[in-house]
Structure 1
């Protein structure tokens, strides 16, 4: 029989969720000093955070490295746009439809790919995802609109909307019962979905199912010798992970109502792998940090140019300022990938557990001196 969480455990989870929700909902405030408080970028933080959370449920808990998760991201986007075209511009059906279709697609991909493990599983997922990309790009053009991408048109049926609202001029916008999903309303919708996704991830991490997934990662062969059938658990984890990716894809379509095959390319799958490893695979918050860091580099750091660098280093003497700008400029702007690559190398070499391992080490260093002072015997003067 399932057991309910103990009171201390419940308190711990509520505390984690309260801190996490407060941090996410106040992002426009504490991201402002970093120049990243505009809604479009905040939406990307939330959406790719969901993508990374879902990928971490597979890779972080089971150790199965998928190189094809962008296929589910793209399928979720296509399904959401078709929901807008056929039924309504309300975002809730699109989210449900995108997540459901991506989960069903994950059943098919997982059933094939999970027949192998290790590098063979990774290659299978990569091959299947590239097949999906090529089909979306050229074969399934009646469904995907090929290289042009699937977009809204004035002649779309939108059957539910047209039962209650007259067809107006121009293209409609996505909405939540009349509230347009652009700007900060769009961010807060994505933020609420991110909080829900994080809660589901937290419950999976602390559930018996999550413990079984960790055991599979630790020694799948030994579990097989005990008579435990690992494949249904792996398939279920794969489906959940694919559903999270589809959810992220549907949110991309909500904030920008179009879907293209480029979202299914292998580079998008590689990006979520980088996010998870950079932040810390197998941790709750690590993939979110990795997703935020990469999207910050991509959107803010890449916009730095020589004039921006001169403003940053204006406090230096003129000659030294020019030298510093000359040395730094190859690593910003179009060269931001150099900085990201160097950072990734440092993380992999010195902090295999990602940013979260670095934070843990820093926390131990901070606690150690204070603990040493507390252990010293108290001397009494006089």
Structure 2
């Protein structure tokens, strides 16, 4: 058994890596194979994977995780302005600042559990959002948002001989511009590394302790086990994931605004995780991809597209179906997403991954049942032995 676990992990990583790197191919039939959208899939997948470490393993539901996403974006843009357009210093700087911010918020919030923890994270995140709009304007540039400017010092770039360009500079990885397909594959590689770290945490003794906290924290505390350091550590790790996602948003678009810290962004990552399957490895990624697909592709379907899709039908039936479906697509995509979320919560509490497990189990039982019938028809091994 000890030898099988690493093999299984390597197999999971091999399959996951292949799926991520071939996204442009298998997303093409769904109309989603363009780099900007695939970057969003990868970035918000990282955000959801990090959130799942906290919520999925411990059961602590944070409604303020978008604060770390915003802090990561601001830190990355400041790195571009002050240091270099190279993305690596920006990512490291964003992760460190997000970790520090997570320590402060986690130290306060984790004094309570349950709904009180959730409300505290929501309140602190909204405070951060309002401060970014008002009090911290010299740092965040308020409503306008933090942007690149021609007068930015970029001390590392100019120290190594970079020249001033006519337009605003582009983010790069040692000269390779982070736009288009290079930008997507960079985000994809970061997603693979983030998923690998999440896998190791899930399979580690630390992950087992987090599951025990979720199962019965009071019993652990009664035995003299101090759970707060573990909760604070996973809260900080989760915040670092969010900071990493925020930095990648700035890498693909060097702009940071307070809207990324709003409570709706925190609610979105909660929705992603629950929809895909909290506490599972792949579920949050499925939820993130589904929501971003709805937001960017499904929302673009209008009445003209529907008429074209139903063009093979008679005109009266075409008009009728378009009239019925139109409220659920285009600007009404939230209605479809809400109905899907309700269906998942009611019928599949474990999210999409629970549905996949049920279908897999049903397929196995069906195959086993057919195999049993085949053995009965041919006499079976037991019958032959008796004979």
Q: Which TM-score bucket, shorter chain as reference? A: over 0.9
Change in CA separation of 1:380 and 1:166 when aligned onto 2, cut-off 3 Å:
closer
Greater CA drift, 70-79 or 356-365: 356-365
Instruction: Compute the displacement of 1:144 (Å).
Output: 0.4
1:148 aligns with 2:144: yes
For residues 198 and 95 of structure 1, the distance between their equivalents in structure 2, rounded to whole angstroms, comes to 17
Matches within 5 A, 1:1-382: 6-163=2-159, 164-376=161-373, 377-380=375-378
Describe the superposition over 1:341-372 as per-residue Cα deviations: whole angstroms up to 9, x where unpaired.
Answer: 00000000000000000111111111111111
For residues 305 and 94 of structure 2, the distance between their equivalents in structure 1, rounded to whole angstroms, comes to 41
What do you get for the CA RMSD once the two structures are aligned? 1.0
Instruction: Compute the displacement of 1:7 (Å).
Output: 2.1
For residues 224 and 20 of structure 2, the distance between their equivalents in structure 1, rounded to whole angstroms, comes to 43
For residues 129 and 354 of structure 1, the distance between their equivalents in structure 2, rounded to whole angstroms, comes to 27
Structure 1: gaps spanning 5 or more residues: none
For residues 236 and 93 of structure 2, the distance between their equivalents in structure 1, rounded to whole angstroms, comes to 15
For residues 380 and 344 of structure 1, the distance between their equivalents in structure 2, rounded to whole angstroms, comes to 47
Greater CA drift, 125-134 or 307-316: 307-316
Instruction: Compute the displacement of 1:95 (Å).
Output: 0.7
| Partner secondary structure for residue 139 of structure 1 | coil
TM-score, normalised to structure 2, is 0.96
How many residue pairs match? The answer is 377
| Partner secondary structure for residue 216 of structure 1 | helix
For residues 310 and 134 of structure 1, the distance between their equivalents in structure 2, rounded to whole angstroms, comes to 44
Greater CA drift, 362-371 or 102-111: 362-371
For residues 88 and 52 of structure 1, the distance between their equivalents in structure 2, rounded to whole angstroms, comes to 28
For residues 86 and 75 of structure 2, the distance between their equivalents in structure 1, rounded to whole angstroms, comes to 14
| Partner secondary structure for residue 33 of structure 2 | coil
Instruction: Compute the displacement of 1:380 (Å).
Output: 4.2
For residues 7 and 369 of structure 1, the distance between their equivalents in structure 2, rounded to whole angstroms, comes to 31
Greater CA drift, 371-380 or 66-75: 371-380
Instruction: Compute the displacement of 1:378 (Å).
Output: 4.1
Instruction: Compute the displacement of 1:166 (Å).
Output: 1.5
For residues 166 and 81 of structure 1, the distance between their equivalents in structure 2, rounded to whole angstroms, comes to 19
Instruction: Compute the displacement of 1:315 (Å).
Output: 2.1
Describe the superposition over 1:15-57 as per-residue Cα deviations: whole angstroms up to 9, x where unpaired.
Answer: 0000000000000010011000011000000000000000000
For residues 380 and 158 of structure 1, the distance between their equivalents in structure 2, rounded to whole angstroms, comes to 78
| Partner secondary structure for residue 107 of structure 1 | helix
For residues 215 and 313 of structure 1, the distance between their equivalents in structure 2, rounded to whole angstroms, comes to 53
TM-score, normalised to structure 1, is 0.97
